[in-house]
């Protein structure tokens, strides 16, 4: 494997900047999920290929195990107003569930979300109260709604919430299911694990028919995944924690395949962070759940992941730093320059990359 040439302590956030023409930021998903383009990077040879995502089958071996994140995006963006003041607009983004009806949220504008302040959403279907101010200015908020009419908060969100598309997507998404993987199961994410958006049920069926095992894990995507890096030095950045879970069934399947020589291929950086958060020093994966604030950047030694399917990430993002740790920063930046030259589509609805 090619290793990073620069000492990790010398790397700065600015070392992960690249120029991206705005028109290459994908505003909508590909017409067919698996018809996105696919850049394949071979770490052994340093070469790359230009393919389509449905060609992923050519790079998978029967003994491999594909690890997917089956977290489901919730309609986590809410628009309302301060209680008794319809002219005082508020925007909420639910980030992380603390208990059944208490969430950590981003609030805009923050000045209208002081401790004890109340707000109204969905023309009264839901009211909120700010309980405390957390790190980075996030608010801990309690939600109140009609428990006889709605069994859980998710049923209310389905009525009044909006899909939390990233700010760089300015076009309206006509079909909200396109910001959801076809295998999404457990509600709780504030953003999609976008590398999985390229899979179709048919492609997954073909992958399994080839003999490849599919092991679902879960990480609820929150602020830790997309929070910008403000520190100049990488070791000064602190990740926000996110909840993850690996079932006994998935852990046994992964360990069984690895023991027989199969590769562990993660679909997306969230699956990768889940696996590396749980992995023991010898690469064994235990069944477990908990919080992870793992920050993977060059210098990190991977314990379990052998290959990675991912999208093209924002400049200076923790996700770009993660894939640079998995391969080589210089080669990743060269590959990104090639992707720009070849007019690949970038970010959430963009094209994909396989690093093997």
Q: Three-state DSSP class for 111?
A: helix
Alpha carbon dihedral 241, 15, 195, 152, in 10-degree steps, equals 30
Q: Which residue has the tokens 């852990």?
A: 251
Write the DSSP assignment of 1-30 as a string of letters: ----SS-GGG-BGGGG-----GGGB-SS--
Tokens representing 1 are 């494997």
The DSSP symbol for 132 reads: E
Tokens of 210: 């080839």
**Residue 259, helix vs strand vs coil:** helix
Q: For the chain, which ranges sit under pLDDT 70? A: 1-9, 224-226
Quote the pLDDT of residue 172.
Answer: 87
The first and second tokens of residue 214, run together, are 């599919």
What gap in Å lies between CA 193 and CA 184, rounded to an integer? 10
Give the residue from 206, 233, 188, 209 showing the smallest Cα distance to 71: 188
**Mean pLDDT in the chain?**
94
Show the tokens assigned to 297: 């950047």
Consecutive H or E run containing 201 = helix 201-209
Residue 226 is predicted with a pLDDT of 66
Q: What is the dihedral of CA 302, 306, 311, 317, to 10 degrees?
A: 10
Q: Which two tokens stand for residue 249?
A: 């069934």
CB 126 within 8 A of CB 156: yes
Model pLDDT, residue 259: 97
E strands, 88-200, are 89-99, 102-108, 118-121, 126-133, 139-144, 186-189
Percent of the chain whose pLDDT exceeds 70: 96
At 283-331, the pLDDT tens digits run 999 999 999 999 999 999 999 999 999 999 999 999 999 999 999 999 9
Condensed to tens digits (0 to 9), the pLDDT of residues 147-193 reads: 999 999 999 999 999 999 988 999 889 899 999 999 999 999 999 99
The residue behind tokens 């010898």 is 282
Give the up-direction half-sphere exposure of residue 42: CA atoms within 13 A in the CB hemisphere.
8
């Amino acid at each position: 494997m090619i290793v990073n040439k620069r000492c990790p302590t010398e790397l700065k956030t600015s070392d992960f900047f690249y120029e991206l023409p705005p028109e290459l930021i994908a505003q909508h998903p590909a017409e067919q999920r698996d018809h996105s383009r696919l850049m394949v990077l071979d770490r052994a040879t340093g070469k790359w290929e230009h393919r389509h995502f449905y060609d992923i089958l050519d790079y998978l071996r029967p003994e491999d195990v594909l690890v997917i994140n089956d977290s489901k995006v919730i309609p986590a963006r809410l628009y309302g107003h301060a209680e008794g003041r319809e002219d005082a607009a508020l925007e909420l983004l639910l980030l992380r569930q603390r208990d059944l009806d208490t969430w950590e949220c981003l609030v805009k504008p923050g000045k209208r979300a002081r401790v004890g302040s109340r707000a109204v959403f969905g023309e009264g279907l839901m009211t909120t109260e700010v309980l405390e101010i957390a790190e980075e200015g996030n608010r801990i908020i309690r939600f109140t709604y009609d428990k006889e009419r709605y069994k859980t908060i998710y049923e209310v969100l389905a009525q009044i919430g909006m899909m939390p598309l990233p700010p760089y997507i300015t076009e309206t998404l006509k079909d909200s299911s396109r910001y959801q993987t076809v295998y999404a199961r457990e509600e709780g994410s504030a953003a999609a694990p976008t590398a999985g958006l390229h899979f179709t049920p048919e492609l997954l069926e073909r992958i399994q028919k080839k003999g490849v095992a599919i092991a679902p894990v879960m990480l609820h995507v929150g602020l830790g995944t997309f929070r910008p890096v403000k520190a100049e030095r990488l070791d000064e950045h602190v990740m926000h924690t996110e909840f993850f879970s690996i079932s006994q069934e998935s852990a046994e399947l992964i360990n069984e395949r690895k023991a027989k020589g199969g590769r562990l291929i993660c679909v997306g950086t969230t699956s990768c962070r889940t696996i590396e958060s749980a992995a023991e020093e010898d690469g064994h994966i235990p069944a477990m759940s908990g919080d992870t604030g793992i920050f993977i950047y060059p210098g990190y030694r991977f314990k379990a992941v052998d290959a990675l399917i991912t999208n093209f990430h924002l400049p200076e993002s923790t996700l770009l730093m993660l894939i640079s740790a998995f391969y080589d920063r210089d080669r990743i930046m060269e590959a990104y320059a090639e992707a720009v030259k070849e007019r690949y589509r970038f970010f959430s609805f963009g094209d994909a990359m396989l690093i093997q």
